[in-house]
Amino acid sequence: MTTRYQHTTLIQGTGATPVPDAVLVVDDGLIAYAGPAAGAPPTPTATTVDLGGRTLLPGFIDCHAHLCMTPERGLLAGLAADATVETFEIARRLRATLDAGVTTLRDLGGVPAGYRTAIERGLIEGPRLQVAVKVISHTGGHADCSLPGGVDAAPHLGEIADTADEARLAARRVLRAGADLVKVCATGGMGSPHDDPDDEGLTYEELTAVVDEAARHRGKRVAAHAQGSAGIRNALRARVTSIEHGYGMTDELCDLALEHGTFLVPTLSTVFAPLDREAMAEHHFRKKSRWARISRENIAHAISRGVPIALGTDSGVVPHARNLLELSYLVELGMEPLDAITAGTLNAARLLGLDRTLGSLETGKTADFVVVDGDPLADIGVLGRSDAIVLVAQSGTVRKDLITAR
């Protein structure tokens, strides 16, 4: 089946200048042509869709989310949750995230690989998934969710390791569970009660063991929760694939990231989230208050230095289905709108190892794309409004269509 989308401005996701009066031809789920209408091949038997001058972009990729979480729920609520109801809640979050323009998503801890399989089999609709399954942390670290009485409030989330050998074994366990990548904690965090972003998490030796073990499993990648400078340095030296958050990025650490080609996933949605003393635990409010300015300054500097940036939101810590608001925050910290779009498309695909098939609208690639009612280069904020995302397609199959409805 061939479909021709025409009368659109095309942003390919590569950083190239937008193409006015463009055509996208999709054939059997792949892109047969993407470019100026003047050069488009004839398609006499194709179904034609007039996009009415709207903007056509690649489907977006969110590299950091937690589908098992919502901002309103604490750990105790998770203990009391009905597992069956929770499954349907997560399915609804997946659907809403897809409607927001995210066609691929990387969950960095908390959901099993079965959700990925359910989407692949068409049992539910949502972004195609990569999953970390669990997060490897040390005792008392960021992913240790033990309550004062000793009960683990989130056994689905954390995997504890306290030596290099245990870290290697923990990596083997999550990979056995079907993980597409391994997530580690190189520092403490904001929301966890036992530690601080400046605290180191897994040691350099433990991180190196995980990176080595992941590499032995068909070159699997390693994402490091890393906020304070000391832990970021350990993670970069251990050659992780990405630094998640990176709030303590210094000039020295930017140099190291550039030297190794390490991606930064800054999750600015959490940085720009409003501080609410009444709604936040005291330790969380205190840490976020201290880090709010530091994080913005350091991420802005990393952007100016040209550190590779990929889109990630930490959805779950912040509300789901508002993923593309992250692009506005990147722009606010100095990134050009076209570069912010690339961070959420081709750069993100490169981080996930999917850039041969996804991340840009080029001939031969998988036809994942979105249509937005507006010009995101003039107003990047339009991408953050789900109602402005009027069409979403995965592998050529339309998942959301407000154009026909209107």
Q: Are 65 and 316 in contact (CB under 8 A)?
A: yes
Q: Check residue 406 and give its pLDDT.
A: 61
For the segment 358-365, the average pLDDT, to the nearest whole number, is: 98
Q: Check residue 334 and give its pLDDT.
A: 98
Residue type, 214: A
In angstroms, the CA 354 to CA 147 distance is 39
Q: Which of 185, 162, 159, 180 is nearest to 170 (CA)?
A: 159
The answer, yes or no, to whether residue 392 has pLDDT greater than 80, is: yes
Please name the helix (run of DSSP H) or strand (run of DSSP E) that holds residue 213, with its range, or none: helix 204-216
For the segment 78-106, the average pLDDT, to the nearest whole number, is: 94
Token representation of residue 192: 């966890």
Residues of the chain with CATH 3.20.20.140: 60-352
First-to-last C-alpha distance (Å) of the chain: 24
Q: Check residue 81 and give its pLDDT.
A: 84
Mean pLDDT comparison of 74-78, 188-192, 211-215, highest-scoring range: 211-215
Mean pLDDT, the chain, whole residue set: 95
For the segment 206-225, the average pLDDT, to the nearest whole number, is: 98
Q: Check residue 75 and give its pLDDT.
A: 60
In angstroms, the CA 105 to CA 76 distance is 27
For the segment 76-80, the average pLDDT, to the nearest whole number, is: 69
Question: 67: Cβ–Cβ under 8 A, 6 or more apart, which residues?
Answer: 90, 93, 94, 105, 107, 110, 111, 115, 315, 316, 320
In angstroms, the CA 158 to CA 22 distance is 47
Please name the helix (run of DSSP H) or strand (run of DSSP E) that holds residue 106, with its range, or none: strand 102-107
Q: Check residue 152 and give its pLDDT.
A: 79
Q: Check residue 277 and give its pLDDT.
A: 77
Beta strands in 192-288 (DSSP E): 221-226, 242-245, 263-265
Residues of the chain with CATH 2.30.40.10: 2-58+360-405
Q: Check residue 29 and give its pLDDT.
A: 98
DSSP codes of every residue in 155-183: TTTEEE--SHHHHHHHHHHHHHTT-SEEE
Q: What is the pLDDT of residues 3-18, one digit of tens each?
A: 999 999 999 999 999 9
Q: Check residue 151 and give its pLDDT.
A: 79
Q: What is the pLDDT of residues 260-313, one digit of tens each?
A: 999 999 999 999 998 887 777 887 888 888 888 999 999 999 999 999 999 999
For the segment 153-179, the average pLDDT, to the nearest whole number, is: 95
For the segment 339-349, the average pLDDT, to the nearest whole number, is: 98
Percent pLDDT > 70 in the chain is: 98
Architecture in CATH of 2-58+360-405: Roll (2.30)
CATH topology of domain 60-352: TIM Barrel (3.20.20)
In angstroms, the CA 57 to CA 119 distance is 22
**Which has the minimum average pLDDT: 86-100, 108-122, 211-225, 272-286?**
272-286
Tokens 């079907």, located at residue: 178
Model confidence at 330, in pLDDT bands (50, 70, 90)? very high
**Which has the minimum average pLDDT: 51-60, 126-135, 190-199?**
190-199
The answer, yes or no, to whether residue 136 has pLDDT greater than 90, is: yes
Model confidence at 183, in pLDDT bands (50, 70, 90)? very high
Q: Check residue 76 and give its pLDDT.
A: 60
The answer, yes or no, to whether residue 209 has pLDDT greater than 80, is: yes
For the segment 360-379, the average pLDDT, to the nearest whole number, is: 98
